Chains A and B, each alone.
Chain A
Amino acid sequence: DAGITQSPRHKVTETGTPVTLRCHQTENHRYMYWYRQDPGHGLRLIHYSYGVKDTDKGEVSDGYSVSRSKTEDFLLTLESATSSQTSVYFCAISGRLEDSDFTDTQYFGPGTRLTVL
């Protein structure tokens, strides 16, 4: 395991409520990613971070925001959840800071199953 945890692992919420998902790593990787996985779509990138306070949008970023105030944590926030955001959310990391070689291997967390009613 690459030392990635996600919390919560399951969440049920109502439309219009704010939701924050947390990704925590203990591996000192520079890059962190949030993906969502839906039937028929595979995994799609929401946002990613290439360093503390450095983030960028992915393919499906509308309705989501992220923050990274320290290397270990990458937060995904749904400001006002909608039913279309019901999905399984995966966090991933890559680029260990101590490594001089580039590998681009991504390590994934266990996922968070979010249901928006």
Chain B
Amino acid sequence: DAKTTQPNSMESNEEEPVHLPCNHSTISGTDYIHWYRQLPSQGPEYVIHGLTSNVNNRMASLAIAEDRKSSTLILHRATLRDAAVYYCILRDHYGGSQGNLIFGKGTKLSVKP
């Protein structure tokens, strides 16, 4: 799987939007962009994933650049509960294969009241 680059840490204020960037310049055509997060003392949690088009769900939005070399996870109104490490992961879905997720160091998001 191709590599991703994320900032080590970011800060946000409560109830403000947060934009978490991810660079993946070597992404292949069959790579999906997945985001997971890990709250303190918990297992990772799926957030969202997409291929080319922007995606929305109840937790967040995913904005994917037109060339797919970068993406941004958007939390529309950060809450204290959103303080976590956010991981951007590329997964090759060619052939319907399953396999392990390769976690990098992620971005540690702090949310200030």
Contacts and interface: CB of A to CB of B under 8 A. Distances in A.
Interface string A98-112: 000010111111110
A22 to B, nearest CB: 15
Contacts of A58: 100
A75 interface: no
A74 interface: no
Nearest to A90: B43
Contact of A108 (B45, B91, B96, B104): B45
Interface string B78-113: 000000000000010100101111011110000000
Interface residues of A, number: 25
A105 B100 contact: no
Contacts of B43: 90, 92, 108-111
A35 B98 CA distance: 15
A97 interface: no
12 contacts: A43-B44, A43-B103, A48-B99, A50-B98, A92-B101, A104-B32, A105-B34, A108-B44, A109-B43, A110-B42, A111-B42, A111-B43
Interface of B: 32, 34, 36, 41-46, 49, 91, 93, 96, 98-101, 103-106
Given A58-B100, A95-B98, A108-B45, 11 more contacts: A30-B98, A31-B98, A42-B105, A43-B101, A48-B99, A48-B100, A90-B43, A104-B34, A106-B101, A108-B43, A111-B41
The 9 tightest CB contacts between A and B, nearest first, are A108-B43, A45-B100, A42-B103, A43-B103, A102-B96, A108-B44, A90-B43, A105-B46, A31-B98
Interface of A: 30-31, 33, 35, 42-45, 48, 50, 58-59, 90, 92, 94-95, 102, 104-111
